[in-house]
């Protein structure tokens, strides 16, 4: 059989990993497929650069996306433009496309999936969620017999690294962010990671794949880790919880909850042991029950592993009559579900009330307890952490509207300086 000719767009961290893994695993990969993939050409901005795999470089994008000799395009430059135009052109020209670009898929994925279907080609993006962990394939194929109740994940390695360091060293957020940047685990501009935006792009894709709903990034509620303090981590730990940044997509009778947020998880749950830059995913299917996956959510070769798996799948399906679309549902069979607004969220809660020095702590506690009994509509425990100048309320499952009422009214109590809500997942 003729080799399958691949055009790479970009030659950064992940693209170099693709070249490296194809090279070192050539024998194993070839044994699995009928056509051997070869990197025919790579689009780069300049030819004056390292080229350890001696790839055929070009600065003319048309030599990839308009080249009849190229069968499959792998986009690895990231961001919206020019990646969007390049991918659209490649699909329209009848080439299958693989990308790791979560931002692009979360925001423009519906349109691109339709374009791929219209042109009878594949669009695959396994590497866009949780790097090397094949979660989309698991949802699309392995769990295809299930109705998925929920999928949750630690899906941003940078946030997980920072929270792990804060917890291990009892250090501040700012200090750990600086260290992550020095080690290359956080970008110079860390906004997408620490504000939860990167995780939200990934959860958008996960939710579509889990529930068969269109990609809808705007529907998500997004919170980052930048509001978490070392005191929150210490107190949570004393109460039996770790703080993790989770993406949560949950299907209930009322609709779908889609949120990325710092979350208290029991120290005994598998999530609490996913540390450093690792990712973890927890899925509940109505036939299979609970499943947990963890591993490298980023990195050159780990991410390349997911990209090459997409490549192999495309080769396998080339001649097939039917192959499952990327999200596992037929493009014209995605159906919207009601996305619940924040006041309708239902969760357990950790509520923290910081008070000023020299406050009458007994008086503040009593007022908070009385307010909580009137507003929360759920059992709760109230605790005083004098050394941290905080009153903590741990509340059983209730709707967020009640909790918001409590937090707003608590600010009127004399001596209360700051309130904070962190949701708890008890599993
Ligand atoms: N790194 C990971 O572990 C990881 C994991 C999962 C997903 N991803 C996704 O994979 C994609 C690539 O990430 P990466 O880490 O490999 O990024 P990277 O190391 O920054 O590489 C990006 C490459 O794209 C090139 N590039 C950027 N803009 C370009 C443009 N307008 N025209 C031509 N070339 C352009 C850069 O060229 P120069 O060399 O000239 O700057 C660089 O070679 C992103 O979508 C990212 O979100 C990455």
Q: Kindly give the distance from the C-alpha atom of residue 12 to the centroid of ligand 1, in angstroms, as a whole number.
A: 5
pLDDT digits (tens, 9 = 90+) for 245-255: 999 999 988 89
Per-residue tokens: 403: 């909790």
Amino acid 410: pLDDT:
98
> What does the mean pLDDT of the chain come to?
97
How far apart CA 185 and CA 329 sit, in angstroms, is 34
pLDDT digits (tens, 9 = 90+) for 14-62: 999 999 999 999 999 999 998 999 999 999 999 999 999 999 999 999 9
Residue 263 CB–ligand 1 contact under 6 Å: no
Instruction: Report yes or no on whether pTM surpasses 0.85.
Output: yes
Q: Kindly give the distance from the C-alpha atom of residue 75 to the centroid of ligand 1, in angstroms, as a whole number.
A: 9
Amino acid 189: pLDDT:
97
Of all atoms in ligand 1, which is nearest to the CA of residue 79?
A: 45
User: Which residue from 260, 148, 152 is spatially nearest to 213, judged by alpha carbons?
Assistant: 148
The answer to whether residues 331 and 51 touch, using CB atoms and an 8 Å cutoff, is: no
Amino acid 190: pLDDT:
98
Reported in sequence order, the residue ranges of 51-125 that DSSP labels E, i.e. its strands, are 57-58, 72-75, 96-99, 123-124
Amino acid 390: pLDDT:
97
How far apart CA 267 and CA 273 sit, in angstroms, is 8
Q: In this prediction, what percent of the chain has a pLDDT beyond 70?
A: 100
Confidence check: pLDDT of 1 > 90? no
Residue 228 CB–ligand 1 contact under 6 Å: no
Confidence check: pLDDT of 321 > 80? no
Q: Of 7, 8, 9, 10, which is best to mutate to test ligand 1, by the most ligand atoms within 8 angstroms of its C-beta?
A: 10
CA 218 to chain centre: 15
Per-residue tokens: 105: 């898929």
Q: Kindly give the distance from the C-alpha atom of residue 36 to the centroid of ligand 1, in angstroms, as a whole number.
A: 25
How far apart CA 5 and CA 146 sit, in angstroms, is 36
Q: Of 62, 77, 87, 277, which is best to mutate to test ligand 1, by the most ligand atoms within 8 angstroms of its C-beta?
A: 77
Q: For the residues 78-83, what does the mean pLDDT come to? A: 98
CB-based burial, 57-76: b 16+ in 10 Å, e otherwise: bbeebebbbebeebbbbbbb
Q: Confidence class of residue 323 from pLDDT cuts 50, 70 and 90?
A: confident
Amino acid 11: pLDDT:
98
- Number of C-beta neighbours around residue 333 at 10 A: 9
How far apart CA 238 and CA 67 sit, in angstroms, is 61
> How open is the CA angle 374-344-235, to the nearest 5 degrees?
65
Q: Confidence class of residue 352 from pLDDT cuts 50, 70 and 90?
A: very high
Q: Is 420 a catalytic site residue?
A: no
Residue 12 CB–ligand 1 contact under 6 Å: yes
Taken in order of first residue, the domains within the chain and their CATH numbers are 4-134+300-333 (3.40.50.720), 146-294 (3.30.360.10), 342-424 (3.30.70.1150)
Q: For the residues 343-354, what does the mean pLDDT come to? A: 97
> How open is the CA angle 211-213-216, to the nearest 5 degrees?
125
Amino acid 234: pLDDT:
97
User: Which residue from 43, 72, 201 is spatially nearest to 127, judged by alpha carbons?
Assistant: 201
Catalytic residue among 102, 202, 354, 420: 202
pLDDT digits (tens, 9 = 90+) for 288-316: 999 999 999 999 999 999 999 999 999 99
Confidence check: pLDDT of 320 > 90? no
Q: For the residues 265-272, what does the mean pLDDT come to? A: 98
Residue with tokens 């097939």: 320
Q: Confidence class of residue 324 from pLDDT cuts 50, 70 and 90?
A: confident
Q: Of 82, 188, 303, 308, which is best to mutate to test ligand 1, by the most ligand atoms within 8 angstroms of its C-beta?
A: 303
């Amino acid at each position: 059989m003729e080799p399958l000719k691949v055009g790479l767009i970009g030659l950064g961290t992940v693209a170099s990993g693709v070249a490296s893994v194809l090279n070192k695993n050539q024998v194993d990969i070839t044994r699995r497929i009928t056509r051997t993939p070869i990197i025919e050409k790579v689009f780069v901005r300049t030819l004056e650069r390292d080229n350890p795999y001696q790839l055929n470089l070009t600065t003319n994008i048309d030599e990839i996306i308009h080249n009849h000799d190229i069968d499959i395009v792998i986009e690895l430059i990231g961001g919206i433009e020019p990646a969007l135009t390049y991918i659209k052109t490649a699909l329209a020209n009848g080439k299958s496309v693989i990308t790791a670009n979560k931002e692009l898929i979360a925001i423009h994925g519906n349109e691109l999936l339709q374009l791929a279907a219209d042109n009878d080609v594949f669009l695959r993006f396994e590497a866009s969620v949780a790097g090397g962990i094949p979660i989309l394939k698991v949802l699309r194929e392995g769990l295809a017999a299930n109705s998925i109740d929920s999928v949750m994940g630690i899906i941003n390695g940078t946030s997980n690294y920072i929270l792990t360091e804060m917890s291990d060293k009892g250090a501040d957020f700012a200090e750990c962010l600086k260290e992550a940047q020095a080690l290359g685990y956080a970008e110079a501009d860390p906004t997408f990671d620490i504000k939860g935006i990167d995780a939200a792009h990934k959860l958008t894709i996960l939710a579509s794949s889990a529930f068969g709903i269109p990609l809808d990034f705007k529907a998500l509620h997004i919170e980052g880790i930048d509001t978490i303090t070392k005191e929150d981590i210490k107190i949570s730990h004393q109460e039996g919880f770790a703080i993790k940044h989770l993406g949560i997509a949950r299907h209930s009778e009322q609709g779908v909850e889609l949120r990325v947020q710092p979350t208290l998880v029991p120290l005994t749950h598998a999530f609490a042991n996913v540390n450093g830059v690792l990712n973890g995913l927890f899925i509940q299917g109505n036939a299979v029950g609970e499943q947990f996956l963890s591993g490298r959510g980023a990195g050159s070769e780990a991410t390349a592993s997911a990209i090459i798996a997409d490549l192999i799948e495309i080769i396998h399906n080339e001649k097939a009559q039917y192959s499952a679309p990327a999200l596992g549902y037929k493009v014209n069979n995605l159906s919207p579900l009601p996305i619940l607004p924040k006041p309708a969220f239902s969760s357990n809660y950790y509520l923290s009330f910081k008070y000023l020095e020299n406050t009458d702590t007994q008086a503040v506690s009593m007022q908070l307890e009385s307010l909580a009994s009137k507003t929360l509509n759920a059992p709760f425990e109230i605790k005083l952490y004098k050394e941290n100048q905080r009153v903590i309320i741990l509340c059983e499952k209730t709707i967020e509207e009640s909790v918001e009422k409590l937090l707003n009214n608590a600010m009127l109590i004399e001596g209360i300086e700051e309130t904070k809500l962190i949701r708890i997942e008890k599993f």
